[in-house]
Structure 1
Amino acid sequence: MYSNSKYSVAILGAGAWGMALANLADANGHEVRLWSRHGSQTLETVLKDVQIVLSAISMTGVRDVAFQVNSFSLSPETIFITATKGLDPQTTCTPSQIWQTIFPNHAVVVLSGPNLSQEIQMQLPAATVVASNISTAAEVVQLVFSSHRFRVYTNPDPLGVELGGTLKNVIAIAAGVCDGLQLGTNAKAALVTRGLTEIIRVGNDWGAKTETFYGLSGLGDLLATCNSPLSRNYQVGYQLAGGKTLREILTNLQGTAEGVNTCQVLIQRAKQQNIAVPITEQVYHLLQGEITPRQALDELMLRDIKPEYNY
């Protein structure tokens, strides 16, 4: 199967991200089938004889949809791609871990990077990373989505690629607060840099490689999400700083700000593993309505002084 030049690709999730990826595969001449819970096509029809299944659904639906997919017969060579950025509240698992548990004998590929879907839909240039334990599967996915406007790199560390894209959403909320309070460029640079340190600390504990977080799915995605009003997570922070309530913001937000759920799950895991996550902690208290944006900042600035790195 891996020698084919054209593939049948089922995209699960017809939100902005799913549509952007569908358009990229379609532009490369692949047969693209789109499934949405609110669409007319059944999951069974979309999955029939499909070679690649890409999940771009929000975190809350991943486990349920994966079990539904498992009720249909698929070729053992079917490749799964996960493009969801989040953590499962029940288990703290990443999306790829959920797909791999349900489909232990299939190749699972993580797709993540600095990919604001609106910019990709506008055909602006972008790059992303596809990562898998099975290099041939990552290379197939690379071919399916690569174009002159969308550069795709492969990586052998799927967990690191996935965590980079997931954990940065929490830091993006903090970055939105920083801009909303008009704290300046120095403060924002410090926040994003220390945020990356926090992401690496969590990722290393999880078993991911440090160098992955300096790549597109870590630092790259962090820079894009922390600096763009197009980012839903950034918008949550920015609007909280402007005095809106979380409920108000989420009601009017188009799409899902995965960082809100990720923050809660990350706090849970950090406590279990005894990992220091000072920025995440303040974002958590802010989202819970326990402190104001200004108090969150003060807490971070008044922490005990320490070396930048622990050698």
Structure 2
Amino acid sequence: MSATERVTVLGDGGWGTALALVNARRGNEVLLWSAFADYASQMKERRENFKFLPGVPLPPNVRISSDLNEALDFSDLIVIAVPTQFVRSVLKKVRPLIRGKKIFVSVAKGIEKQTCMRPSQVVYAELGDVPLVILSGPSHAEEVSRGIPTLVVAASKQPEYAIKVQNVFRDKFFRIYVQGDAVGVELGGALKNVIAVAAGVCDGLGFGDNTKSGLLTRGLFEMSRLGVKLGANPTTFFGLSGAGDLMTTCFSQHGRNLRVGRELGKGRKIRDILKDMEMVAEGVDSAEAVHELCQREGIMIPIMEEVYNILCKDKDPKQAVSDLLSRDAQEEWKQY
């Protein structure tokens, strides 16, 4: 293992906090930044992220701050752990405060709704060609924070930075693989959230294991099809950030996107579901961005399109399922 490092985590959500805990467990010094001064003070006093990761104490080597300047000066390794739709606004504040070389680690799993850009593209647009690593995979914060063995992947167009993150973050419970397909790794994390909404709809409608397994298999094919069109390696989607994350999200009690889909399947409206949720379900906004991407690229992804119709067009989930099942017959492995 490498020597003790300093790591800054931007974002006080469950996943950002879990990564802070991974690094603290590793012996690193961590600064966890919150955009909300009052909440940062409460976390500091209680030594717990009681909203987003309750019941898990924050050790002494995790500092808590709402001062962005302090957060950026604390470390040269900066984890961007805010929801996708807020990445740009945070980075606009980050840009004038950067001093010296920083390595950024993006862990957001979504697509920006207004621009259809991946989080990494937003990073480059706001900060220039900075060193950037994508960290993704099947990794519920509730499990990672408690030291339950977890495997993820770090990807970068500059391999030395992915290896840096691998060495700094990994411990005996948090294993990190590296690879070079940053586009595929990032898309896997975003697209699986849309499929997870569909899986939840199946649960809410009372369907069984046959339905969900078929849905996930075809959903994975759709993820790969769109990914290839956007420059990804198709095999990436059968790794940790694709199939691995998809399975975890769609079969776990922790899955927020699955929960949204389940409630939709039971007949609730999306606006009412989101009102009751404290945490962000990335698949909801990503579904709209994916729809726009597919229109632009001329790609057919029927399952994700029906998720868009349910979320954005108020389509009846039962009708969406019926329309999917009544599509023209075709070969299983139609070309990308």
Q: What's the TM-score, normalizing by structure 1?
A: 0.96
Separation in structure 2 between the aligned mates of residue 68 and residue 10 of structure 1, nearest angstrom: 15
Q: Which of the residues 168, 184, 203 maps onto 1:160? A: 184
Separation in structure 2 between the aligned mates of residue 144 and residue 285 of structure 1, nearest angstrom: 42
**Contact 1:49 1:74 survives alignment (8 Å):** no
What pairs with 1:20-35 in structure 2 (closer than 5 Å)? 20-35=18-33
The answer to whether structure 1 residue 19 and structure 2 residue 17 are counterparts is yes
What pairs with 1:123-202 in structure 2 (closer than 5 Å)? 123-202=147-226
**Contact 1:10 1:52 survives alignment (8 Å):** yes
Measure how far apart 1:305 and its partner are. Answer: 0.4
Separation in structure 2 between the aligned mates of residue 83 and residue 235 of structure 1, nearest angstrom: 21
Separation in structure 1 between the aligned mates of residue 273 and residue 160 of structure 2, nearest angstrom: 42
**Contact 1:169 1:258 survives alignment (8 Å):** yes
Measure how far apart 1:4 and its partner are. Answer: 6.7
Q: Which of the residues 99, 106, 113 maps onto 1:74? A: 99
Deviating 4+ runs (over 6 angstroms): none
Kindly tell me: are residues 15 and 23 of structure 1, through their superposed partners in 2, closer, same or farther at Cα, counting changes over 3 Å?
Answer: same
Kindly tell me: are residues 26 and 50 of structure 1, through their superposed partners in 2, closer, same or farther at Cα, counting changes over 3 Å?
Answer: same
The answer to whether structure 1 residue 36 and structure 2 residue 34 are counterparts is yes
Separation in structure 2 between the aligned mates of residue 165 and residue 199 of structure 1, nearest angstrom: 10
Q: Secondary structure at the match of 2:112?
A: coil
Separation in structure 2 between the aligned mates of residue 301 and residue 183 of structure 1, nearest angstrom: 14
**Contact 1:130 1:154 survives alignment (8 Å):** yes
**2:255 matched residue in structure 1:** 231
Separation in structure 2 between the aligned mates of residue 107 and residue 230 of structure 1, nearest angstrom: 32
**1:291 matched residue in structure 2:** 315
**2:238 matched residue in structure 1:** 214
Kindly provide the amino acid, as one letter, of the partner of residue 133 in structure 1.
Answer: K
**Contact 1:129 1:217 survives alignment (8 Å):** yes
**2:328 matched residue in structure 1:** 304
Kindly provide the amino acid, as one letter, of the partner of residue 67 in structure 2.
Answer: T
- The more displaced of 116-125 and 130-139 is 116-125
Separation in structure 1 between the aligned mates of residue 84 and residue 239 of structure 2, nearest angstrom: 23
**Contact 1:175 1:237 survives alignment (8 Å):** yes
What pairs with 1:105-124 in structure 2 (closer than 5 Å)? 105-124=129-148
Q: Secondary structure at the match of 1:27?
A: helix
Query: How many residues align structurally?
Result: 308
Q: Secondary structure at the match of 1:71?
A: helix
C-alpha offsets along residues 230-262 of structure 1, whole Å, 9 cap, x if unaligned?
100000000111122111111111310010000
**2:59 matched residue in structure 1:** none
- The more displaced of 279-288 and 300-309 is 279-288
Separation in structure 1 between the aligned mates of residue 200 and residue 85 of structure 2, nearest angstrom: 24
Q: Secondary structure at the match of 2:97?
A: coil
The answer to whether structure 1 residue 242 and structure 2 residue 266 are counterparts is yes
Measure how far apart 1:289 and its partner are. Answer: 4.9
Kindly provide the amino acid, as one letter, of the partner of residue 16 in structure 2.
Answer: G
Q: Which of the residues 48, 51, 69 maps onto 2:76? A: 51
Kindly provide the amino acid, as one letter, of the partner of residue 92 in structure 1.
Answer: C
Q: Secondary structure at the match of 1:74?
A: coil
**1:270 matched residue in structure 2:** 294
Percent identity of paired positions between Structure 1 and Structure 2: 40
Kindly provide the amino acid, as one letter, of the partner of residue 128 in structure 2.
Answer: P
Q: Secondary structure at the match of 2:30?
A: strand
C-alpha offsets along residues 198-224 of structure 1, whole Å, 9 cap, x if unaligned?
000110010011111110000000111
**Contact 1:7 1:51 survives alignment (8 Å):** no
Separation in structure 1 between the aligned mates of residue 260 and residue 2 of structure 2, nearest angstrom: 43
Separation in structure 2 between the aligned mates of residue 177 and residue 229 of structure 1, nearest angstrom: 15
Q: What's the TM-score, normalizing by structure 2?
A: 0.89
Gaps (5+ residues) in structure 2? 41-64
C-alpha offsets along residues 54-91 of structure 1, whole Å, 9 cap, x if unaligned?
01101121011112111113222x11000001111222
Gaps (5+ residues) in structure 1? none
